[in-house]
Structure 1
Protein backbone atom coordinates (compact mmCIF):
# COMPACT_ATOMS: atom_id res chain seq x y z
CA UNK A 1 0.00 0.00 0.00
CA UNK A 2 1.41 3.37 -0.99
CA UNK A 3 1.88 6.02 1.68
CA UNK A 4 -0.68 8.28 0.03
CA UNK A 5 -3.32 5.60 0.59
CA UNK A 6 -2.58 5.15 4.28
CA UNK A 7 -3.89 6.56 7.52
CA UNK A 8 -0.83 6.91 9.76
CA UNK A 9 -0.80 7.56 13.48
CA UNK A 10 2.16 9.60 14.73
CA UNK A 11 2.39 9.71 18.51
CA UNK A 12 3.84 12.97 19.74
CA UNK A 13 3.18 14.21 16.24
CA UNK A 14 2.83 17.93 16.94
CA UNK A 15 6.32 18.83 18.12
CA UNK A 16 9.98 18.11 17.54
CA UNK A 17 10.76 15.02 15.51
CA UNK A 18 7.08 14.05 15.53
CA UNK A 19 6.15 17.28 13.78
CA UNK A 20 8.78 16.62 11.11
CA UNK A 21 7.33 13.13 10.60
CA UNK A 22 3.81 14.53 10.36
CA UNK A 23 4.89 17.11 7.77
CA UNK A 24 6.71 14.48 5.71
CA UNK A 25 3.59 12.31 5.65
CA UNK A 26 1.37 15.23 4.67
CA UNK A 27 3.71 15.98 1.77
CA UNK A 28 3.36 12.34 0.65
CA UNK A 29 -0.43 12.66 0.61
CA UNK A 30 -1.12 10.44 3.61
CA UNK A 31 -3.85 11.04 6.13
CA UNK A 32 -2.25 11.59 9.52
CA UNK A 33 -3.62 11.07 13.00
CA UNK A 34 -1.59 13.52 15.06
CA UNK A 35 -1.50 12.42 18.67
CA UNK A 36 -0.41 15.04 21.17
CA UNK A 37 -0.24 15.35 24.93
CA UNK A 38 0.24 19.07 25.55
CA UNK A 39 0.95 20.62 22.12
CA UNK A 40 -2.67 21.56 21.50
CA UNK A 41 -1.97 24.82 19.65
CA UNK A 42 0.29 23.26 17.01
CA UNK A 43 -2.04 20.27 16.62
CA UNK A 44 -5.00 22.59 16.02
CA UNK A 45 -2.97 24.55 13.46
CA UNK A 46 -2.15 21.38 11.56
CA UNK A 47 -5.82 20.44 11.41
CA UNK A 48 -6.79 23.90 10.22
CA UNK A 49 -4.10 23.93 7.53
CA UNK A 50 -4.80 20.39 6.30
CA UNK A 51 -8.44 19.64 7.15
CA UNK A 52 -8.71 16.69 4.75
CA UNK A 53 -5.48 15.05 5.84
CA UNK A 54 -4.98 15.70 9.54
CA UNK A 55 -6.99 14.64 12.56
CA UNK A 56 -5.50 15.64 15.92
CA UNK A 57 -6.29 13.72 19.10
CA UNK A 58 -5.10 14.42 22.62
CA UNK A 59 -4.19 11.25 24.49
CA UNK A 60 -1.65 9.94 26.97
CA UNK A 61 -0.19 6.97 25.12
CA UNK A 62 0.93 5.37 28.37
CA UNK A 63 -2.75 4.98 29.25
CA UNK A 64 -4.35 2.01 27.48
CA UNK A 65 -7.91 3.33 27.69
CA UNK A 66 -6.89 6.66 26.15
CA UNK A 67 -5.07 4.88 23.32
CA UNK A 68 -8.16 2.80 22.57
CA UNK A 69 -10.25 5.99 22.52
CA UNK A 70 -7.75 7.60 20.13
CA UNK A 71 -8.06 4.71 17.66
CA UNK A 72 -11.85 4.72 17.85
CA UNK A 73 -12.04 8.48 17.24
CA UNK A 74 -9.65 8.28 14.30
CA UNK A 75 -11.63 5.46 12.70
CA UNK A 76 -14.87 7.37 13.13
CA UNK A 77 -13.32 10.54 11.67
CA UNK A 78 -11.77 9.00 8.54
CA UNK A 79 -14.24 6.14 8.15
CA UNK A 80 -11.33 3.71 7.91
CA UNK A 81 -9.01 2.18 10.47
CA UNK A 82 -5.42 3.27 11.00
CA UNK A 83 -3.05 1.42 8.67
CA UNK A 84 0.31 2.40 10.15
CA UNK A 85 1.70 3.55 13.48
CA UNK A 86 4.83 5.57 14.22
CA UNK A 87 5.63 5.29 17.93
CA UNK A 88 7.54 8.52 18.39
CA UNK A 89 6.21 10.09 21.62
CA UNK A 90 8.86 10.72 24.27
CA UNK A 91 8.11 11.33 27.92
CA UNK A 92 9.83 14.45 29.24
CA UNK A 93 13.57 14.07 28.71
CA UNK A 94 16.52 16.33 28.01
CA UNK A 95 19.81 15.30 26.46
CA UNK A 96 22.05 17.12 28.89
CA UNK A 97 24.98 14.95 29.95
CA UNK A 98 25.83 17.14 32.93
CA UNK A 99 22.31 17.00 34.35
CA UNK A 100 21.56 13.33 33.65
CA UNK A 101 20.81 10.99 36.58
CA UNK A 102 24.03 9.26 37.56
CA UNK A 103 23.98 5.53 38.19
CA UNK A 104 23.92 5.97 41.96
CA UNK A 105 20.96 8.35 41.68
CA UNK A 106 18.69 6.19 39.52
CA UNK A 107 15.29 5.33 40.96
CA UNK A 108 12.68 2.73 40.13
CA UNK A 109 10.26 5.56 39.38
CA UNK A 110 12.58 7.17 36.84
CA UNK A 111 13.37 3.89 35.12
CA UNK A 112 9.70 2.92 35.03
CA UNK A 113 8.71 6.30 33.58
CA UNK A 114 11.00 5.80 30.59
CA UNK A 115 9.96 2.16 30.15
CA UNK A 116 6.29 3.12 30.16
CA UNK A 117 6.88 5.90 27.63
CA UNK A 118 8.84 3.68 25.26
CA UNK A 119 7.61 0.10 25.63
CA UNK A 120 4.13 0.26 27.13
CA UNK A 121 3.10 3.05 24.76
CA UNK A 122 4.21 0.94 21.79
CA UNK A 123 2.44 -2.09 23.23
CA UNK A 124 -0.83 -0.19 23.67
CA UNK A 125 -0.83 1.31 20.16
CA UNK A 126 0.05 -2.07 18.66
CA UNK A 127 -2.73 -3.80 20.57
CA UNK A 128 -5.24 -1.13 19.57
CA UNK A 129 -4.27 -1.44 15.90
CA UNK A 130 -4.09 -5.20 15.77
CA UNK A 131 -7.65 -6.33 14.99
CA UNK A 132 -8.06 -3.97 12.03
CA UNK A 133 -4.56 -4.64 10.71
CA UNK A 134 -5.18 -8.39 10.84
CA UNK A 135 -8.48 -7.99 9.02
CA UNK A 136 -6.83 -5.86 6.33
CA UNK A 137 -3.83 -8.18 6.03
CA UNK A 138 -1.64 -5.09 6.19
CA UNK A 139 0.04 -3.00 8.84
CA UNK A 140 3.20 -1.00 9.37
CA UNK A 141 4.57 -0.26 12.84
CA UNK A 142 7.67 1.89 13.18
CA UNK A 143 9.25 2.39 16.60
CA UNK A 144 11.72 5.18 17.27
CA UNK A 145 14.91 4.11 19.05
CA UNK A 146 18.37 5.52 19.69
CA UNK A 147 21.91 4.79 18.57
CA UNK A 148 22.92 5.02 22.24
CA UNK A 149 21.93 1.36 22.55
CA UNK A 150 24.83 0.47 20.24
CA UNK A 151 27.11 3.28 21.38
CA UNK A 152 26.28 4.61 24.88
CA UNK A 153 28.81 7.40 24.63
CA UNK A 154 26.75 9.33 27.17
CA UNK A 155 25.23 6.95 29.73
CA UNK A 156 21.61 8.05 29.84
CA UNK A 157 20.78 4.90 31.80
CA UNK A 158 17.00 5.24 32.04
CA UNK A 159 16.37 6.42 28.48
CA UNK A 160 18.78 4.01 26.78
CA UNK A 161 17.63 0.99 28.76
CA UNK A 162 14.01 1.68 27.82
CA UNK A 163 14.92 2.01 24.13
CA UNK A 164 16.89 -1.25 24.28
CA UNK A 165 13.77 -2.93 25.62
CA UNK A 166 11.78 -1.34 22.78
CA UNK A 167 14.22 -2.83 20.28
CA UNK A 168 13.63 -6.29 21.77
CA UNK A 169 9.87 -5.72 21.63
CA UNK A 170 10.18 -4.61 18.00
CA UNK A 171 11.84 -7.88 17.08
CA UNK A 172 9.50 -10.15 19.04
CA UNK A 173 6.46 -8.31 17.64
CA UNK A 174 7.83 -8.66 14.10
CA UNK A 175 8.19 -12.39 14.63
CA UNK A 176 4.65 -12.69 15.96
CA UNK A 177 2.84 -10.43 13.50
CA UNK A 178 4.54 -11.10 10.18
CA UNK A 179 2.09 -13.88 9.40
CA UNK A 180 -0.67 -11.26 9.25
CA UNK A 181 1.11 -8.94 6.83
CA UNK A 182 2.17 -6.59 9.63
CA UNK A 183 5.76 -5.33 9.48
CA UNK A 184 7.41 -4.00 12.63
CA UNK A 185 10.69 -2.08 12.45
CA UNK A 186 12.74 0.48 14.34
CA UNK A 187 14.64 3.58 13.31
CA UNK A 188 17.34 4.75 15.70
CA UNK A 189 18.92 8.18 15.58
CA UNK A 190 21.51 10.10 17.48
CA UNK A 191 21.15 13.66 18.62
CA UNK A 192 19.03 15.58 16.13
CA UNK A 193 19.64 19.25 15.50
CA UNK A 194 17.44 20.31 16.97
CA UNK A 195 14.40 19.10 18.92
CA UNK A 196 12.88 19.94 22.29
CA UNK A 197 14.87 17.10 23.84
CA UNK A 198 18.20 18.22 22.36
CA UNK A 199 17.91 21.96 22.96
CA UNK A 200 19.80 21.55 26.26
CA UNK A 201 22.77 19.98 24.47
CA UNK A 202 25.80 22.31 24.27
CA UNK A 203 26.91 23.40 20.80
CA UNK A 204 30.34 21.79 21.18
CA UNK A 205 28.66 18.37 21.43
CA UNK A 206 26.95 18.89 18.08
CA UNK A 207 30.29 20.04 16.61
CA UNK A 208 31.98 16.89 17.91
CA UNK A 209 29.26 14.67 16.45
CA UNK A 210 29.46 16.40 13.07
CA UNK A 211 33.24 16.01 12.90
CA UNK A 212 32.93 12.28 13.74
CA UNK A 213 30.30 11.57 11.11
CA UNK A 214 31.12 10.54 7.52
CA UNK A 215 28.62 13.13 6.25
CA UNK A 216 30.28 15.78 8.44
CA UNK A 217 26.98 17.07 9.78
CA UNK A 218 24.38 16.35 12.43
CA UNK A 219 21.21 14.68 11.21
CA UNK A 220 18.14 16.93 11.15
CA UNK A 221 14.59 15.93 12.13
CA UNK A 222 13.56 16.28 8.46
CA UNK A 223 16.30 13.88 7.35
CA UNK A 224 15.31 11.35 9.99
CA UNK A 225 11.64 11.65 9.07
CA UNK A 226 12.46 10.98 5.42
CA UNK A 227 13.99 7.62 6.36
CA UNK A 228 10.78 6.61 8.13
CA UNK A 229 8.93 6.88 4.83
CA UNK A 230 10.91 3.94 3.50
CA UNK A 231 9.51 1.62 6.16
CA UNK A 232 5.96 2.78 5.41
CA UNK A 233 6.32 2.37 1.64
CA UNK A 234 5.83 -0.74 -0.53
CA UNK A 235 9.59 -0.84 -1.08
CA UNK A 236 10.08 -2.30 2.42
CA UNK A 237 7.39 -4.96 2.23
CA UNK A 238 9.98 -7.72 2.84
CA UNK A 239 11.68 -5.83 5.69
CA UNK A 240 10.65 -6.53 9.27
CA UNK A 241 12.29 -6.86 12.66
CA UNK A 242 15.07 -4.48 11.62
CA UNK A 243 16.74 -1.55 13.33
CA UNK A 244 17.97 1.10 10.89
CA UNK A 245 20.41 3.57 12.40
CA UNK A 246 19.91 7.03 10.91
CA UNK A 247 22.74 9.23 12.19
CA UNK A 248 24.85 10.07 9.15
CA UNK A 249 27.03 6.98 9.60
CA UNK A 250 28.25 7.79 13.12
CA UNK A 251 27.36 4.36 14.51
CA UNK A 252 27.66 1.21 12.43
CA UNK A 253 25.37 -1.80 12.82
Structure 2
Protein backbone atom coordinates (compact mmCIF):
# COMPACT_ATOMS: atom_id res chain seq x y z
CA UNK A 1 0.00 0.00 0.00
CA UNK A 2 1.37 3.39 -0.97
CA UNK A 3 1.83 5.98 1.74
CA UNK A 4 -0.73 8.25 0.12
CA UNK A 5 -3.37 5.51 0.61
CA UNK A 6 -2.70 5.06 4.31
CA UNK A 7 -4.12 6.44 7.51
CA UNK A 8 -1.12 6.86 9.80
CA UNK A 9 -1.23 7.46 13.53
CA UNK A 10 1.64 9.58 14.86
CA UNK A 11 1.72 9.63 18.65
CA UNK A 12 3.01 12.94 19.94
CA UNK A 13 2.53 14.21 16.40
CA UNK A 14 2.04 17.93 17.04
CA UNK A 15 5.50 19.07 18.08
CA UNK A 16 9.20 18.30 17.86
CA UNK A 17 10.10 15.19 15.92
CA UNK A 18 6.44 14.21 15.82
CA UNK A 19 5.58 17.40 13.97
CA UNK A 20 8.31 16.75 11.42
CA UNK A 21 6.90 13.24 10.88
CA UNK A 22 3.38 14.61 10.50
CA UNK A 23 4.48 17.24 7.99
CA UNK A 24 6.39 14.67 5.93
CA UNK A 25 3.37 12.38 5.84
CA UNK A 26 1.12 15.24 4.77
CA UNK A 27 3.53 16.01 1.93
CA UNK A 28 3.34 12.34 0.90
CA UNK A 29 -0.44 12.59 0.70
CA UNK A 30 -1.26 10.40 3.69
CA UNK A 31 -4.09 10.97 6.10
CA UNK A 32 -2.59 11.55 9.54
CA UNK A 33 -3.99 11.04 13.01
CA UNK A 34 -2.15 13.57 15.15
CA UNK A 35 -2.27 12.29 18.70
CA UNK A 36 -1.35 14.77 21.41
CA UNK A 37 -1.45 15.04 25.18
CA UNK A 38 -0.80 18.73 25.94
CA UNK A 39 -0.14 20.31 22.51
CA UNK A 40 -3.78 21.11 21.82
CA UNK A 41 -3.22 24.41 20.02
CA UNK A 42 -0.55 23.02 17.67
CA UNK A 43 -2.61 19.91 16.87
CA UNK A 44 -5.77 21.86 16.13
CA UNK A 45 -3.83 24.26 13.91
CA UNK A 46 -2.67 21.29 11.82
CA UNK A 47 -6.24 20.00 11.55
CA UNK A 48 -7.49 23.42 10.47
CA UNK A 49 -4.69 23.85 7.94
CA UNK A 50 -5.14 20.38 6.42
CA UNK A 51 -8.79 19.47 7.08
CA UNK A 52 -8.87 16.63 4.56
CA UNK A 53 -5.69 15.00 5.80
CA UNK A 54 -5.33 15.62 9.52
CA UNK A 55 -7.46 14.43 12.42
CA UNK A 56 -6.27 15.63 15.83
CA UNK A 57 -7.16 13.69 18.97
CA UNK A 58 -6.05 14.04 22.58
CA UNK A 59 -5.13 10.81 24.34
CA UNK A 60 -2.63 9.56 26.88
CA UNK A 61 -1.22 6.57 25.00
CA UNK A 62 -0.13 4.92 28.25
CA UNK A 63 -3.86 4.54 29.03
CA UNK A 64 -5.38 1.77 26.90
CA UNK A 65 -8.94 3.02 27.32
CA UNK A 66 -7.95 6.38 25.86
CA UNK A 67 -6.17 4.64 22.98
CA UNK A 68 -9.36 2.70 22.24
CA UNK A 69 -11.27 5.97 22.11
CA UNK A 70 -8.65 7.40 19.74
CA UNK A 71 -8.99 4.50 17.31
CA UNK A 72 -12.79 4.54 17.41
CA UNK A 73 -12.91 8.29 16.77
CA UNK A 74 -10.47 7.94 13.87
CA UNK A 75 -12.59 5.25 12.22
CA UNK A 76 -15.65 7.46 12.56
CA UNK A 77 -13.80 10.52 11.20
CA UNK A 78 -12.12 8.93 8.18
CA UNK A 79 -14.54 6.03 7.68
CA UNK A 80 -11.66 3.56 7.77
CA UNK A 81 -9.26 2.00 10.24
CA UNK A 82 -5.69 3.07 10.92
CA UNK A 83 -3.20 1.29 8.65
CA UNK A 84 0.11 2.34 10.18
CA UNK A 85 1.45 3.61 13.50
CA UNK A 86 4.51 5.67 14.35
CA UNK A 87 5.09 5.30 18.09
CA UNK A 88 6.89 8.59 18.68
CA UNK A 89 5.42 10.04 21.89
CA UNK A 90 7.99 10.68 24.60
CA UNK A 91 7.32 11.03 28.30
CA UNK A 92 8.73 14.40 29.42
CA UNK A 93 12.47 14.19 29.01
CA UNK A 94 15.40 16.50 28.35
CA UNK A 95 18.79 15.60 26.93
CA UNK A 96 20.80 17.45 29.52
CA UNK A 97 23.75 15.41 30.71
CA UNK A 98 24.31 17.57 33.77
CA UNK A 99 20.73 17.21 34.98
CA UNK A 100 20.22 13.53 34.16
CA UNK A 101 19.38 11.11 37.01
CA UNK A 102 22.57 9.46 38.21
CA UNK A 103 22.56 5.79 39.20
CA UNK A 104 22.47 6.80 42.86
CA UNK A 105 19.32 8.83 42.21
CA UNK A 106 17.35 6.35 40.09
CA UNK A 107 14.06 5.10 41.47
CA UNK A 108 11.57 2.48 40.39
CA UNK A 109 9.17 5.29 39.52
CA UNK A 110 11.71 6.99 37.24
CA UNK A 111 12.46 3.75 35.41
CA UNK A 112 8.83 2.69 35.18
CA UNK A 113 7.72 6.08 33.83
CA UNK A 114 10.06 5.77 30.86
CA UNK A 115 9.17 2.09 30.32
CA UNK A 116 5.47 2.96 30.26
CA UNK A 117 6.05 5.79 27.81
CA UNK A 118 8.11 3.64 25.45
CA UNK A 119 6.93 0.04 25.73
CA UNK A 120 3.48 0.14 27.30
CA UNK A 121 2.31 2.92 24.98
CA UNK A 122 3.52 0.98 21.94
CA UNK A 123 1.82 -2.17 23.23
CA UNK A 124 -1.44 -0.27 23.67
CA UNK A 125 -1.53 1.15 20.15
CA UNK A 126 -0.56 -2.20 18.64
CA UNK A 127 -3.14 -4.19 20.58
CA UNK A 128 -5.96 -1.81 19.70
CA UNK A 129 -4.95 -1.79 16.02
CA UNK A 130 -4.46 -5.52 15.77
CA UNK A 131 -7.90 -6.78 14.75
CA UNK A 132 -8.23 -4.29 11.88
CA UNK A 133 -4.67 -4.92 10.69
CA UNK A 134 -5.21 -8.68 10.72
CA UNK A 135 -8.42 -8.28 8.75
CA UNK A 136 -6.66 -6.09 6.17
CA UNK A 137 -3.57 -8.33 6.20
CA UNK A 138 -1.60 -5.12 6.31
CA UNK A 139 0.02 -3.06 9.02
CA UNK A 140 3.14 -0.98 9.46
CA UNK A 141 4.45 -0.28 12.95
CA UNK A 142 7.43 2.04 13.35
CA UNK A 143 8.86 2.47 16.84
CA UNK A 144 11.21 5.35 17.58
CA UNK A 145 14.40 4.35 19.37
CA UNK A 146 17.81 5.81 20.12
CA UNK A 147 21.42 5.14 19.13
CA UNK A 148 22.28 5.41 22.83
CA UNK A 149 21.38 1.73 23.10
CA UNK A 150 24.37 0.93 20.88
CA UNK A 151 26.57 3.79 22.07
CA UNK A 152 25.61 5.16 25.52
CA UNK A 153 28.06 8.07 25.45
CA UNK A 154 25.82 9.88 27.92
CA UNK A 155 24.30 7.43 30.41
CA UNK A 156 20.64 8.42 30.38
CA UNK A 157 19.82 5.25 32.30
CA UNK A 158 16.03 5.40 32.41
CA UNK A 159 15.52 6.60 28.84
CA UNK A 160 18.05 4.24 27.26
CA UNK A 161 16.88 1.17 29.18
CA UNK A 162 13.30 1.84 28.11
CA UNK A 163 14.30 2.20 24.46
CA UNK A 164 16.36 -1.00 24.67
CA UNK A 165 13.25 -2.78 25.93
CA UNK A 166 11.28 -1.26 23.04
CA UNK A 167 13.85 -2.63 20.60
CA UNK A 168 13.42 -6.11 22.07
CA UNK A 169 9.63 -5.75 21.85
CA UNK A 170 9.95 -4.58 18.24
CA UNK A 171 11.78 -7.79 17.37
CA UNK A 172 9.51 -10.17 19.26
CA UNK A 173 6.39 -8.47 17.87
CA UNK A 174 7.73 -8.75 14.32
CA UNK A 175 8.20 -12.48 14.83
CA UNK A 176 4.65 -12.89 16.09
CA UNK A 177 2.84 -10.65 13.61
CA UNK A 178 4.57 -11.22 10.28
CA UNK A 179 2.11 -13.99 9.46
CA UNK A 180 -0.64 -11.37 9.38
CA UNK A 181 1.14 -9.01 6.98
CA UNK A 182 2.16 -6.68 9.80
CA UNK A 183 5.71 -5.31 9.70
CA UNK A 184 7.27 -3.97 12.90
CA UNK A 185 10.49 -1.97 12.74
CA UNK A 186 12.43 0.64 14.66
CA UNK A 187 14.23 3.82 13.64
CA UNK A 188 16.85 4.99 16.11
CA UNK A 189 18.20 8.51 16.03
CA UNK A 190 20.99 10.33 17.69
CA UNK A 191 20.60 13.77 19.18
CA UNK A 192 18.45 15.75 16.75
CA UNK A 193 18.92 19.46 16.16
CA UNK A 194 16.57 20.62 17.47
CA UNK A 195 13.55 19.19 19.30
CA UNK A 196 11.82 19.92 22.61
CA UNK A 197 13.94 17.22 24.23
CA UNK A 198 17.26 18.44 22.80
CA UNK A 199 16.82 22.19 23.25
CA UNK A 200 18.52 21.92 26.66
CA UNK A 201 21.65 20.48 25.04
CA UNK A 202 24.57 22.95 24.94
CA UNK A 203 25.77 24.06 21.50
CA UNK A 204 29.21 22.63 22.26
CA UNK A 205 27.74 19.14 22.41
CA UNK A 206 26.16 19.54 18.97
CA UNK A 207 29.52 20.72 17.64
CA UNK A 208 31.30 17.67 19.03
CA UNK A 209 28.69 15.34 17.52
CA UNK A 210 28.93 17.03 14.12
CA UNK A 211 32.74 16.76 14.12
CA UNK A 212 32.53 13.04 14.92
CA UNK A 213 29.88 12.24 12.31
CA UNK A 214 30.79 11.14 8.76
CA UNK A 215 28.31 13.64 7.28
CA UNK A 216 29.84 16.36 9.51
CA UNK A 217 26.48 17.62 10.70
CA UNK A 218 23.83 16.79 13.27
CA UNK A 219 20.74 15.08 11.89
CA UNK A 220 17.60 17.23 11.76
CA UNK A 221 14.09 16.09 12.69
CA UNK A 222 13.12 16.50 9.03
CA UNK A 223 15.92 14.18 7.88
CA UNK A 224 14.95 11.60 10.45
CA UNK A 225 11.28 11.83 9.47
CA UNK A 226 12.17 11.21 5.83
CA UNK A 227 13.81 7.90 6.72
CA UNK A 228 10.61 6.73 8.42
CA UNK A 229 8.85 6.87 5.05
CA UNK A 230 10.90 3.92 3.85
CA UNK A 231 9.38 1.64 6.49
CA UNK A 232 5.86 2.83 5.59
CA UNK A 233 6.32 2.40 1.85
CA UNK A 234 5.96 -0.75 -0.29
CA UNK A 235 9.74 -0.74 -0.75
CA UNK A 236 10.13 -2.23 2.72
CA UNK A 237 7.45 -4.90 2.46
CA UNK A 238 10.04 -7.64 3.11
CA UNK A 239 11.68 -5.75 6.01
CA UNK A 240 10.60 -6.44 9.56
CA UNK A 241 12.19 -6.71 12.99
CA UNK A 242 14.94 -4.29 11.99
CA UNK A 243 16.51 -1.31 13.72
CA UNK A 244 17.75 1.38 11.34
CA UNK A 245 20.09 3.93 12.91
CA UNK A 246 19.61 7.37 11.37
CA UNK A 247 22.32 9.64 12.76
CA UNK A 248 24.53 10.60 9.84
CA UNK A 249 26.70 7.52 10.29
CA UNK A 250 27.88 8.30 13.82
CA UNK A 251 26.94 4.88 15.22
CA UNK A 252 27.26 1.76 13.13
CA UNK A 253 24.37 -0.63 13.74
**Normalising TM by the smaller chain, what interval?**
over 0.9
Equivalent runs, 1:1-253 vs 2, <5 Å: 1-253=1-253
* Partner Cα distance (2:121, 2:251) in 1: 26
User: Secondary structure at 1:244's aligned position in 2?
Assistant: strand
C-alpha displacement of 1:26 = 0.1
* Partner Cα distance (1:177, 1:72) in 2: 22
User: Secondary structure at 1:13's aligned position in 2?
Assistant: coil
C-alpha displacement of 1:126 = 0.2
* Partner Cα distance (2:38, 2:205) in 1: 29
User: Secondary structure at 2:101's aligned position in 1?
Assistant: coil
* Partner Cα distance (1:232, 1:134) in 2: 17
Deviation track 1:134-163 (CA, whole Å, cap 9, x = no partner) reads 000000000000000000000000000000
* Partner Cα distance (2:108, 2:222) in 1: 34
Gaps of 5+ in 2: none
Cα RMSD (Å) of the superposition? 0.2
User: Secondary structure at 1:184's aligned position in 2?
Assistant: strand
* Partner Cα distance (1:79, 1:133) in 2: 15
* Partner Cα distance (2:20, 2:246) in 1: 15
* TM value normalised by structure 1: 1.00
C-alpha displacement of 1:9 = 0.1
User: Secondary structure at 1:150's aligned position in 2?
Assistant: coil
Gaps of 5+ in 1: none
Deviation track 1:166-224 (CA, whole Å, cap 9, x = no partner) reads 00000000000000000000000000000000000000000000000000000000000
* Partner Cα distance (2:64, 2:47) in 1: 24
* Partner Cα distance (1:4, 1:231) in 2: 14
